[in-house]
Amino acid sequence: MAQAEHTPPEGAAADWTIPQDWDRYTPQEHALWDHLFARQAAMLPGRVVPEFMAGLDILRMTRPGIPDFAELSERLMKATGWQVVAVPGLVPDHVFFDHLANRRFVAGRFIRTPEQIDYLEEPDVFHDVFGHVPLLAHPAFADYMQAYGEGGLRAGGLGAIERLARLYWYTVEFGLIRQEDGGLRLYGAGIVSSYGESIFALDDPSPNRLGFDLRRLMRTRYRIDDYQQTYFVIDSFEDLLRQTVETDFAPIYAELGQEADFDTATVVAEDRIYNCGTQAYARAKEGLT
């Protein structure tokens, strides 16, 4: 999402954007995208929120090869007024928030190597485009992303970036959503772009699955190096947007500054619990079982 460096690297514009240089992708890179796409597209129906699959169709992302950002942006602009812009990697917070506030989604242009097919630390074009962009064709989610960017610009002046980053992490990256039949579906980009976590997040008894609560979520630390120990479940994109737009975050930041953080696996009495996790996965990774 962001990095400490505040000077654009050589070749980048003042807003950190760079040309995608789509013609420079090799046949091997396009083939790797197609492999990743086919693997996810085969297992996500019935697991991911229907709006995600609809976004793939609206944006014609089922076509082979790494998408051309110019063509993708043209279709996305018609749907919700968003566009996709290439950046050289992680960007400073204020740059990231400003792009979102102006309905521009920043995406890395490189693609992982075959050796990194199941995990890489820095988001690549598959994570950024396959994971994030389909839901930007959904009006309520598109508006939420813009509202988040506007909130980020305000949070910077309040010293609350870390709190707000948790909202992004537990919704945009690793969010679950409740369906009308009571079942849960995936929507977070970090899940839907990961074969392993697409299964783990819904099926494994190990993680907590808790009802979305803004203050609770912003007190909760998260993992950047493995599957999550807690997932938060929203009721709808419209409700997520409403809470974001109608909430005055400044007093919440002040209140939370006086309270201790929750560990990644904590469950408290006030939580709405869909699943109280066994944490067996985390304990096994730490050699405690």
User: Of 51, 73, 99, 127, which is the active-site residue?
Assistant: 127
Residue type, position 182, single letter: G
Catalytic residue of the set 132, 138, 198, 206: 132
73 has catalytic annotation? no
Contact call for residues 77 and 83 (beta carbons, < 8 A) = yes
Nearest CA to 60 out of 134, 126, 138, 131 is that of 134
Q: Does the active-site annotation cover 173? A: yes
| Helix count and strand count (H, E) for the chain | 13, 7
- With the CA atoms of 275, 279, 281 and 282 taken in that order, what torsion angle do they form, in degrees rounded to the nearest 10? 140
Q: Which of 73, 193, 198, 206 is catalytic?
A: 193
Catalytic residue, chosen from 51, 73, 173, 206, is: 173
- Look up 193 and say whether it is catalytic: yes
Distance of CA 46 to the CA centre of its chain: 19
Q: Any catalytic annotation for residue 138?
A: no
What own/partner pairs with CB < 8 Å and gap ≥ 24 does 21-25 have? Answer: 21/109, 22/66, 22/68, 22/69, 22/70, 25/65, 25/66, 25/111
SS3 readout for 162-202: HHHHHHHHHHHHCCEEECCCCCEEECCHHHHCCHHHHHHHH
Just list the catalytic residues. Answer: 127, 132, 173, 193
